[in-house]
Structure 1
Amino acid sequence: MVRAASRPEKTTDDDDVIAEMRASYDRLTQSQKRIAEFVVDEPEQVAFSTVDQVANKLGINPSTIVRFTYRLGLAGFPDLQSRIQQRLKSRLERAENINDGHGSLGHLEGTSFVASLQQDMKNLHRTVEQLSKEDLEAAVSMLVKARRVYVCAGLSSYAVAHFFALILDRLRSDTVLVSGDGAMSSSHLSEIGKNDVLVAFTFPPYAATTRQMASWAKESGAKVLAVTDTPISAVGQIADTVLLAACSGTGLQNSLVGAMAVSNTVLNGVTAAQGNSAMERYRRLNEVLSSWNSFILK
């Protein structure tokens, strides 16, 4: 077993362990990055395994894990365990308040559809467990106060970004959907500044252009809101606020059910925060679309 070294002077609040990993991820060694990823991806194993067991799973020396905890401002591995256990407890308490929602899939038994639908339900539940009131309120506040909101994504994540930008534009003015094309994105983001917000949707394998746009936004003084699967994803590390959405799929593609749920939740929050102004803008835009005979249903 590893003997604990002297307690570091720096202290870290329970809720700041993941935030500290996000902030320091790029400065960690490769071994420490592997530990950080393990803490995020396998919190249950960290919470209920010994330091030697975790070290064995990662193929590293236990002392490396202890030094990693000091790097976070903790008092050692037991301190990290305690904080992860508390986070898990909070997640479970939230989960208990969620209806199971699995329903009956008996009529689809024996088909490949069952596994896919069950995975989507698991993703939705995991997404809800990971969301916090504080992060959602921070996201809504950013979107309501921003001079202009830019929405970006690449690859399959662009589908969610398109939906989010479309509805947000009906709730507030100055919403810009940024194309994944290099020339178009640079043109769109050339005027982004400190009073603006960039919303970035990013999931594995993580579009490089999304990271580039988020980095440019930060360098320009804008705030970044990330909707992603892990707080230590490339954009998650630099974002001002991160909303997590589980995306594991049973096929070749990611499941975007969690990301859509997060989008709906934030958009509804913006609607509530904007009040009558959002409703009036939505009504006016619908009148325009109706006058153009855009809808089959009248």
Structure 2
Amino acid sequence: MPELPEVETVRRGLAPTMEGARIVRLELRRGDLRFPFPEAFGEKASGRTIVSLGRRAKYLLIDLDSGATIIAHLGMSGSFRIEAGPIADTPISETPGEFHHPRSKDEKHDHVIFHLEGPSGQSRVIYNDPRRFGFMDMADRTALDINPFLHGLGPEPTGNALSAAYLAERFKGKAQPLKSALLDQKNIAGLGNIYVCEALWRSHLKPTRASATLVTPTGKPTKQLDLLVSSIRDVIADAILAGGSSLRDHIQTDGSLGYFQHSFSVYDREGQPCRTPDCGGTIARIVQAGRSTFYCPNCQK
């Protein structure tokens, strides 16, 4: 499933085409994806102008001039591609993002098509999803915080709201392993398995370590928690800069592949030497809550 940097990469790839464009028609080629589309979804979106394209955690947010927001999730195999020019012309296809594995462009999996008219002319943004684990919802922009998909999410890992003091408040007295605590979307929104592994490695923290050990007896963050927060910010920023991790189904809107996976220091490197200078350790893999965790037993304490 695409993680936050992949979704942010897609958002940035779509924004130049979608922001400011009018949805001439929202074409739905089936009645559902993972869930049924909202009632009168096509009718409510058609004719509206896209004010902005945002992101919350792993969700794309398409704000319309009607005050409504389309909430889109890519699921496991969903992707958007851009086709420029009038519909009768031979399209020039782009898929936002750079990926190691090509995404599907099989038209039988094209389920949602945004027919757009913008400053640069006509175009189509096509949502393709072979497995149909993605979905789209529509909500009033003022009610996004209570939307079932967005309600209760913690702060973004890239925003100022994420701080060592905030995590100290969440972690104090908790025996929950660090890996599990960081994957809890109520603590941090959009942080996934790959980047948790990478951030814990960068901060030299063992994934099974109790969360409360990063909080002082008076409830203040330790220096290790300060380092963890910095590591989270840095690894997400590096991944966005590289265009995402490019795992299997993830693809950007221009059809290219991201290459942050070539920079993984710990994820999926079981049995390989640790990249921490002078460590001499070997990357190990354990399973936590049914998910693989990669770490260095030598330098992560």
TM-score range, shorter chain: under 0.3
If the length of structure 1 is used for normalisation, what is the TM-score?
0.27
Greater RCO (CA < 8 Å, at least 6 residues apart) = 2
Structure with more of its chain in helix, by fraction: 1
Structure with more of its chain in strand, by fraction: 2
